[in-house]
Amino acid sequence: MAKIEKVELRMVDLVPKVKRTDAIQSFVSQETPIVTITDSDGASGTGYSYTIGTGGSSVMRLLADHLAPRLIGRDVDQIEAIWHDLEFATHATTIGAITAIALAAIDTALWDLRARKQSLPLWKLAGGAKDRCPLYTTEGGWLHIETAALVEDALAAKAKGFTGSKVKIGKPHGSQDVARLSAVRKAVGDGYEIMTDCNQGFSVDEAIRRAERLRELDLAWIEEPLPADDIDGHVRLSKSTATPIAVGESLYSIRHFREYMQKGGCNIVQVDVGRIGGITPWLKVAHAAEAFNMPVCPHFLMELHVSLVCAIQNGKYVEYIPQLDELTGDKMRIENGHALAPSEPGIGIDWDWDAVKARSIAEFTTAIVK
C-alpha cells in the first residue's frame, strides 16, 4: 500500500495566444496551479487547474497551508476518501471557485498517478467508451471579432472537419448578434453546428427575447444565458425556447447540477474539471447526466477533457481552445476534426518540465514532504 510522501506545488501564469472577450469580461491571464504528488513507491502524478486572471495566489495559499499537508501519509488509492476529507476540511469555504480549483489540481494529480501505476490512459481507466471525439472551436468566435473574421474562422474550421464553431453573443442590441450569427450560418450552411455563449450576460426576459430572435438559425445551444445561480430563470427560459440551453462552466457542486437537471433548467451539461473540483466529481456529474439522457460537452481544458469525454458514453464534444502549448511537448492529437484519446498512461499531458520550472512563480513554488 503506497503512501503519499511528497507534494510539490507550482503556479505558472500564461497569457492567452489570442485576445479573448465575452459579454462580461476580457480574459487576459491564465493562472495555472500545478500539483505533483509522489508516493512511497517513487511513482508520481501531476494535476492542474486554472483561473482566468484572479484568485491564483489564494488557491496556492489554500493548497500550501491547508490541503497539501493533509495528503502526507495518505493511501494514494483512496482517491474518493481523500476528496471528501479535503472537501470537509474546507467546508467553510465551499462551495466556490477557490476551493474547487485547489481540489481539482490535487484530485487530477491522484488520477494521473493511479493511471500511470496501472499503465492505463485515463480515458480507459475512467470508462473507455470511445477513442476519439468531435471538436468544435471557440478561438475564432470572441465578442470583439468582426463578422467577416467570424465567417472566415468558421469556414476554416469546417474545412478541417470540425463539428462546429462557438460565437460569443451579448452585443448591446440583439440585432447585432443576429447579424453576426446569420452571416456565419449563411456561410457554413445547415450541416455545421453554431454554438453560442452569453457568459451570464442577460436577464431572463432579455434572454427569452434574444433566443426567440435566434430561433431560425438552428443553434446547437445557448450557453450560460443567465447568472449561473439563477436556476428558476433557466427553467423559465428552457420552457420558452426549443434551442437547447447549456450550463456548467460556473457550477461548483454535483448538487447544483442535480437541481438543474431535475428542474429542467438545462439540456446540455458543460461540467468543467477545474470548476467542479476534479475528475472524481466530474465523473459523477457526467453519469448523472446520462441518467437524464443529456450530453456532456465540457467547458475549456481540452487537453484533459478529451480523455474524460472519451471515457463516458454521453460525451459529445470537446471545446477547442489551446491552453497548455507553452508547457507541453506532444500536443493533443487531431484527426479530421476529431480529438484522439491519448494512448500514454496517465491523464494525457506531456509536461515539458524545463518550461514549467522556468515559468513557475517563485513565491508559489513549494514542496511538502513526509
Query: pTM of the full predicted structure?
Result: 0.97
Q: What is the mean pLDDT of the chain?
A: 96
Q: Is the pLDDT of residue 26 over 80?
A: no
Q: What's the Cα-to-Cα distance from 276 to each of 78, 189, 280, rounded to whole Å? A: 19, 36, 9
Q: Is the pLDDT of residue 21 over 80?
A: no
Residue by residue, DSSP assigns 76-113 as: TT-HHHHHHHHHHHTTTT-SSHHHHHHHHHHHHHHHHH
Residue-wise pLDDT for 95-116, tens only, equals 889 999 999 999 999 999 999 9
168 is catalytic: yes
- Residue entry with cell 453576426: 180
Q: Which of 117, 166, 256, 299 is catalytic?
A: 299
Grid coordinates standing for 329? 511537448
Q: Which of 117, 158, 168, 256 is catalytic?
A: 168
Q: Is the pLDDT of residue 23 over 80?
A: no
Cα torsion 338, 121, 295, 298: sign: negative
316 is catalytic: no
Q: Is the pLDDT of residue 24 over 80?
A: no
Residue-wise pLDDT for 66-93, tens only, equals 999 999 999 999 999 999 999 999 988 8
